[in-house]
Amino acid sequence: MEYNFKETEQKWRKFWEDNQTYKTEIDHAKPKYYVLDMFPYPSGAGLHVGHPLGYIASDIIARYKRLKGFNVLHPMGFDSFGLPAEQYAIQTGQHPAITTEENITTYIRQLKQIGFSYDWSREVRTSDAKYYKWTQWIFMQLFKHYYDKDANKALPIASLVERFAVSGNKDINAVCDEDTPNFTAEEWNGMSEQEQQTLLLKFRLTFPDDSVVNWCPALGTVLANDEIKDGVSERGGYPVEQKKMKQWAMRITAYADRLIDGLNEVDWSDALKEQQRNWIGRSTGASVKFKVDASTVQENAPEFIEVFTTRVDTIYGVSFMVIAPEHEYVPFLTTAAQKSTVDEYVKWVASRTELDRMSEVKKVTGAFTGSYVINPFNDEKVPIFLADYVLAGYGTGAVMGVPSGDQRDWNFAKYFDLPIVPILDAQKDIEEQADNTKEGKYINSGIIDGMGYKEATATLTKWLEERGIGKGKIQYRLRNAVFSRQRYWGEPVPAYFKNGSGDVSLPYLIEESELPLELPVIDKYLPTETGEPPLGRAEGWKYKGEYEYELSTMPGWAGSSWYWYRYMDAQNEQEFASQEAINYWKAVDLYLGGSEHATGHLLYSRFWNKFLKDLGLVPEEEFAKKLINQGMIQGRSNFVYRVKSSVGEGKNPVFVSFGLKEQYETTPIHVDVNIVSNDVLDLNAFKNWRSDFENAEFILEDGKYICGVEVEKMSKSKYNVVNPDVLVDKVGADTLRLYEMFLGPLEQAKPWNTNGIDGSFRFIKKVWRLFYDDLGNFKVKDETPTPAELKVLHTCIKKVEEDLERYSFNTVVSTLMICVNDLGSLKCAKKAILQELVILMSPYTPHIAEELWVLLGNEAGTISYATFPKFNASLLVEANFDYPISINGKVRANISFPTDAIPADIEAGVLANEVVQKWLEGKAPKKVIVVPKRIVNVVL
């Protein structure tokens, strides 16, 4: 009798659902274990084979931990706000809520099909008002708090206001904007409401701020870097420019130190922690104010330009200063003679993205403003340049150029023919390249001549501080996080604006009792004619019928920055989760997801978690104790090639087939792999695929359009998604689960390839044949196992347990295969052995395990809460060990010795061996190394 996986799997999935087998409650009698998957964005393409990889692994751990006696929380939900649904809405007019709902339904059906042991009663969706009510609530708390450096935590703004009223801000040690002025209590108390509120924004943990964005005038919207290809919008091919815009920001920089320090207490990979440390980029240095030479500058020019440097010791080597081309000072510093050069340069830089600017470092570009600053140490005039390698958003947007010590500065100095001054006697070949050494004694360096690095730095810093023109400073690369999106499909910001005198209007929060602030209905999902975000279209959408709401929405990461708490108490309408639930489940014990979230989601989530802890709402400083990054299942992408000259207003886009593309200048564009077959594009499907391609024209080869191919990550934006449904239908969920784990180490990236899935399928059938003979008779007997059978079983128990404890999911599959092969060879059909095997298999192949468990006479549904087999080491004891004997590190023989033989006896035995004798050629060995129960090495 063949195993009927279809019927059996369906039967058990229904049983688990009907009996709520995996529903979880707080249970103080058992230790808790929280295993969490990074929840998916429910894309229109459905679940792809890359998703389950992590989910299968976490499900295996969840099932394993249940067998080990833990009370396991294992939930799933959806990060359901996001761009693709909105993009689809723009194309079709369909409300994103409808498509999102449909997509989620598909996802749930697909997930349930794979036999995951989720407690579905706890499902969350970030786009559900019952959920985003609490996202908005957390946003409000951020607005109502500031970061107090003395308390080293967030404190209420209300307490800050009280202190301002008593003693101004001179004793306040708080994280705030750079340009926050000093003020006394009298000054504070004398301020208008508007002035006070403006000042408080400099302290709040979320606040409106100017930031530079990719603005696409033709689409009237801001684009992600992702949506820009070759400087034009991927959608439509329109030009994009850099533009300053008021955006909500999150003062994540307040938590920079705690975000770095907290990494020491979590069990995450070193690679990931290193990435976060680098992202935060704490560097110790000094800030220095350079006085602007007033003789050439325009009216209203600044008195000083401040720079941050990690090498203040090189300050005597400064031969120019560079400020960012978009820096607000530029107009004031530009002389009439340089104006046309500067304007042209600024315009060119505005057309480039930040990524372009950082990537292209080989080509030096820049422009001289015509103005100078004065080096405070030697009173020399230093020319001020603009250059695109300085970004306005980093530090002060200005850097001092030291060509002898920094290669980028050196390149710049060569290009503009600026002096390259040596500053250390240890610097070598500085006419050829920069030398950033800190060794040697300073030269050409005024007050630090003859000193070493440490002394010089201290001397200079002291000198600056005494004169009030500089100080030691810790600078972070981390920037405050932009928290606004000019989009519809996201959480509305629970804020409105009033006190609008002229263009100044201030944000205020709505009342907590008015939450959730729901997304209003709009007619279409595009910006307004005046360039406002889509919410500007909502008719009569005003706070108390009077005040403008914030029209941007929250970014994708808002809802995902706290969701693990909502699972603890998903239906709670009074709080984001009850204190009882939070204090029972505490933090995530195992978190599984892709490494592409290293510096996004995982940093923002840690930030919000620390904030919630400061408020006393959650107990743990770090929300995820252990984290594993599953490697990406890579996709096979297809490309079409758009001819560049066919892009623009009123033109039909032209696409050239792969083989002919070298004859044109083209932009490669991803095309949905589902409308491509054997790399041949379905032309009609392509025209229907995206509205801007409906008039597409093609240059064909042999009457066909051949697409390009590349292996890259499988993702909705690359349109290369492969669906697991087909596989479940063909070979069953158990086989799919086994196969995905068998592919290789969880952390490693690999392209999706179904070759080899037969091996997993055969394994399932082999297991079945341990229970049934060829005639379909159930053959399991209640007999006493032999030592050989017990040895096979316990070898397996040991290895499965060890491997699961170190999350080596692929080797467990091999171990199970070896065990089943060996039991097959032994013709073992004994209940005592097979019953334990079934438990060992059950985390991987829950369906067939349930079936066999019941066939062995157990109660249905109880295998999930059975006891993991106990390993008995005494069953594996061997009398002898087979030593590999190597000569000069190469194995030449194998000799068996008693397990407890002493090295001297082994050495004697080895030297007597004829193979060894042959290699010795009568001579005595130089050395014999005996590693007990491992190896013997004879050195000639």
Partner RNA sequence: GCCCAGAUGGCGGAAUUGGUAGACGCGCUGGUCUCAAACACCAGUGUCUUCACUGGCAUGCCGGUUCGACUCCGGCUCUGGGUACCA
Q: Measured from the CB of residue 277, what is the shortest distance to RNA in angstroms?
A: 8
3-state secondary structure at position 75? coil
- Minimum separation from the CB atom of position 334 to RNA (A): 27
Site for RNA in 377-436 (CB under 7 A): none
Residue placing its CB nearer to RNA in the complex, 274 or 692:
274
- Comparing C-alpha atoms, which of 488, 511, 533 is closest to residue 213? 533
Phi, psi of 625 (to 5 degrees): -70, -45
CA distance 345 to 354: 15
* Residue 659 interacting with RNA (CB under 7 A): no
Q: Is 368 in the site for RNA (CB under 7 A)?
A: no
170/890 with CB nearer RNA = 890
Task: Return the residues of window 839-898 that contact RNA according to CB under 7 A.
Answer: 882, 884, 886, 888-892, 894
- Taking the C-alpha atoms of residue 564 and residue 583, their distance in angstroms, rounded to an integer, is 13
Query: Interface with RNA includes 909 (CB under 7 A)?
Result: no
443 touches 424 (CB < 8 A): yes
User: What part of residues 491-550 is at the interface with RNA (CB under 7 A)?
Assistant: none
DSSP conformation class of 492: B
In this chain, which stretch among 135-143, 539-547, 644-652, 929-937 interacts with RNA, using CB under 7 A?
Answer: 929-937
Residues 5-64 interacting with RNA (rule: CB under 7 A): 41
Chain positions 213 to 242 lying near RNA, rule: CB under 7 A, are: 213-214, 222-227
Stretch that binds RNA, among 92-100, 158-166, 264-272, 538-546 (CB under 7 A): 264-272
The DSSP secondary-structure symbol of 869 reads P
Q: Is 745 in the site for RNA (CB under 7 A)?
A: yes
Q: Could you report how far apart the first and last alpha carbons of the chain are, in Å?
A: 61
CB of 939 to RNA, least distance (A): 4
| Residue 475 contacts residue 244 (beta carbons within 8 Å) | no
Q: Does 166 participate in binding RNA (rule CB under 7 A)?
A: no
Please say which residue, 290 or 807, places its beta carbon nearer to RNA.
807
Distance in Å, CB of 222 to RNA, minimum: 4
Nearer to RNA, 532 or 710 (CB): 710
Angular region, 723: left φ>0, alpha ψ -120 to 50, beta rest:
beta
Tell me if 755 contacts RNA by CB under 7 A.
yes
Span 242-261, contacts to RNA by CB under 7 A:
245, 247
Residue bearing tokens 């023989």: 893
Q: How many CA atoms lie within 13 A of 721 on its CB side?
A: 17
Structure tokens belonging to residue 264: 């020491």
Rounded to a whole number of angstroms, the minimum distance from the CB of residue 452 to RNA is 25
Select from 224, 96, 132 the least CA-distant residue to 488.
96
Strand partners, 385: 322, 368
> Min. distance of Cβ 717 from RNA in angstroms?
5
**Backbone conformation region of residue 749, classed left if phi is above 0, alpha if psi is from -120 to 50, else beta:** beta
272 binds RNA (CB under 7 A): yes
DSSP code at position 722: -
Residue 929 binding RNA, by CB under 7 A: yes
State yes or no: residue 717 binds RNA (CB under 7 A): yes
Residue 165 in tokens: 């009223």
The residue within the footprint of RNA, chosen from 275, 335, 436, 578 (CB under 7 A), is 275
Would you say 212 or 464 has its CB closer to RNA?
A: 212
Q: Decide: is 827 part of the binding site for RNA (CB under 7 A).
A: no
How long, in residues, is the chain? 940
Would you state the structure tokens that stand for residue 657, as one six-digit string?
């087939």
Query: Which of residues 434, 632, 736, 863 is near RNA by CB under 7 A?
Result: 632
When the beta carbons of 228 and 728 are compared against RNA, the nearer one is 228
Shortest distance in whole angstroms from residue 782 CB to RNA: 25
Query: Which of 102, 575, 802, 907 touches RNA (CB under 7 A)?
Result: 802
Q: According to CB under 7 A, which one of 470, 516, 536, 556 is a site residue for RNA?
A: 556
C-beta closer to RNA: residue 697 or 758: 758
* H or E element, residue 156: strand 153-156
| Radius of gyration of the chain from its Cα atoms, rounded to whole angstroms | 34
| 359 touching RNA, by CB under 7 A | yes
Q: Which stretch binds RNA (CB under 7 A): 157-165, 268-276, 521-529, 689-697?
A: 268-276
- State yes or no: residue 917 binds RNA (CB under 7 A): no
Q: How far is the CB of 2 from RNA (least distance, A)?
A: 8
Cis peptide before 787 (omega within 30 of 0): no
∠ CA 575-255-243 to the nearest 5 degrees? 95
Q: How many residues bind RNA (CB under 7 A)?
A: 104
Torsion of Cα atoms, 912 then 916 then 922 then 926, to 10°:
-100
Q: Are 247 and 552 in contact (CB under 8 A)?
A: yes
- Write the secondary structure of 563-629 as one string of H (helix), E (strand) and C (coil): HHHHHHCCCCCCCCCCHHHHHHHCCECEEEEEHHHCCCHHHHHHHHHHHHHHCCCCCCCCCECEEEE
743 is a site residue for RNA (CB under 7 A):
yes
589 CB-near residues (< 8 Å, 6+ apart): 32, 33, 34, 35, 625, 626
Contacting range for RNA; rule: CB under 7 A; set: 287-295, 354-362, 521-529, 670-678: 354-362
Helix (H, G, I), strand (E, B) or coil at 229: strand
Q: How far apart are CA 816 and CA 688, in angstroms?
A: 48
Q: Which of 99, 309, 484, 646 forms a contact with RNA (CB under 7 A)?
A: 484
- Give the x/- contact pattern for RNA in 115-154, rule: CB under 7 A: ----------------------------------------
| CB of 839 vs RNA, minimal distance in Å | 20
Candidates 28-36, 483-491, 685-693, 848-856; binding stretch for RNA (CB under 7 A): 483-491
Q: Build a one-symbol-per-residue string for 591-630: x at contacts with RNA by CB under 7 A, - elsewhere.
A: ----xxxxxxx-----------------------------
481 binds RNA (CB under 7 A): yes
Minimum separation from the CB atom of position 930 to RNA (A): 9
Residues 6+ apart with CB under 8 A from 803: 809, 811, 812, 815
- Among positions 78-97, residues that touch RNA (CB under 7 A) are 79, 81-84
Residues between 763 and 792 that touch RNA (CB under 7 A):
763, 765-766
Contact call for residue 314 and RNA (CB under 7 A): no
User: Are 374 and 293 a contacting pair, CB within 8 Å?
Assistant: yes
Q: Check residue 270 for interaction with RNA (CB under 7 A).
A: yes
Instruction: Indicate the DSSP class of residue 744.
Output: S
Minimum CB distance to RNA smaller for 923 or for 927: 927
How many CB atoms are closer than 10 A to CB 922? 6
Tell me the torsion sign for CA atoms 738, 740, 741, 744.
Answer: positive
Q: CA of 70: how far to CAs of 56, 66, 565, 838, 864, in Å?
A: 19, 5, 19, 19, 11
Residue 765 labelled as part of a binding site: no
Q: What is the C-alpha to C-alpha distance for residues 512 and 140, in angstroms, rounded to an integer?
A: 8
| Distance in Å, CB of 438 to RNA, minimum | 17
Type of residue found at 339: K
Instruction: Determine, following the binding rule CB under 7 A, whether residue 806 of this chain makes contact with RNA.
Output: yes
State yes or no: residue 358 binds RNA (CB under 7 A): yes
Is 498 or 766 the residue whose CB approaches RNA more closely? 766
Question: Is 710 near RNA (CB under 7 A)?
Answer: yes
Strands 676-677 and 927-931 turn out to be unpaired
* Nearer residue to RNA within complex by CB, 469 or 526: 526
DSSP 8-state class, residue 844 = T
Nearest to RNA of 156, 281 (CB atom)? 281
Q: Closest CB to RNA among 422 and 635? A: 635
Q: Which residues are annotated as a binding site for ATP?
A: 716
